[in-house]
Amino acid sequence: MKTAKYTIKQFNEKYPTDDACLDRIFKGRYPEGVYCPKCQRVTKFYHRAGAKDYVCEFCGYSVSPTAGTIFHKSPTPLRYWFHAMFLMSSTRCGISAKQLERELGVTYKTAWRMFKQIRGLMDEKAKPMNGHIEVDETYIGGKRSGESTGRGSGGKTPVVGLAHRDDGQVLTSVVKDVKARTIMPIIWKNVPRGADNTIHTDEFSSYNTVKKLGYSHGVVQHGKGIYARGINHVNTVEGFWSLVKRGINGVYHAVSPKYLQTYLNEYGFRYNHRKSETPMFQLLLNRVFAVAPEVVKPYQLDSQIPLL
């Protein structure tokens, strides 16, 4: 399966103005039309010039396509928002708020707010993982002046990752520590119990209770210099950790533990959808459209909006 390409040229042609962006949001959130509570039926709604709302052709009742979305009440032009979403979904290693500031010509404060809001769309909903699941823990961050180096040294934040080997999906969690009592509930919550599901880990002692939970357990001895033994390895999840650390070190340089989970969500979103036939920019837009419209209507929103 080839990753869908969506170029800046296509973006510029599709979204040249704020009105074009607003129209896309309107059609995405109301794919079956708008139910007017005054007329008590689906009617035609027209964009009101100079405003961000649409009005019923009969009674003048208005709806705002941006209500409840990340664009709501934002003075920043919609095209800037769309461009920021395009940039953040197109990169592989990430883009900083400072880069958004330069690309869009906005203040750093505005760029940071947009950056934070768009990352919120990238939070992946966990789904049960079945089959061969790799589990690994790592530390993200760096040592502070005068503090020791190594595992769990000052400034480092522990995280746990699960990688579904069959479809390449990852799930990450920032944790307070990497003890068994912390890691096991994450596995228990996301991987259905049963011998058909195999948990692959290294020899770290926190994983010693995996079999007691009812899973098959494959172990690779990293301490002995063995990184793969048959089907037993954690190379998939370690490859993801490598991508995240290169991105954070090269693009962001440092990330506060307070916001680390949102950064992991951002990398996880791009990683999980890297082979999608739908452009990642469209996937982000679909998450905007999935916000329930302000007017209840007798239709269910289609999560698979037609491509761009």
* Sequence spans of domains, the chain: 8-123+277-289, 132-257
pLDDT of amino acid 151: 53
Question: From residue 8, how far is each of 14, 85, 150, 166 by CA, in Å?
Answer: 10, 12, 42, 32
Q: Which of 121, 35, 5 has its CA nearest to residue 70?
A: 121
pLDDT of amino acid 208: 95
CATH of region 132-257, choose from 1.10.760.10, 3.30.420.10, 1.10.3720.10, 3.40.50.1100: 3.30.420.10
pLDDT of amino acid 92: 81
With H, G, I as helix, E, B as strand and everything else as coil, classify residue 197.
strand
> Quick one: which H or E segment has residue 52?
none
d(CA 142, CA 144): 6
The 10s digit of each residue's pLDDT in 158-208 is 999 999 998 889 999 999 999 999 999 999 999 998 878 999 999 999 999
Residue stretches of the chain with pLDDT short of 50: 1, 144-149, 295-308
Q: Is the pTM of this model over 0.75?
A: yes
d(CA 273, CA 234): 20
How far apart, in Å, do the first and last CA atoms of the chain sit?
A: 20
pLDDT of amino acid 167: 86
pLDDT of amino acid 303: 37
d(CA 145, CA 80): 39
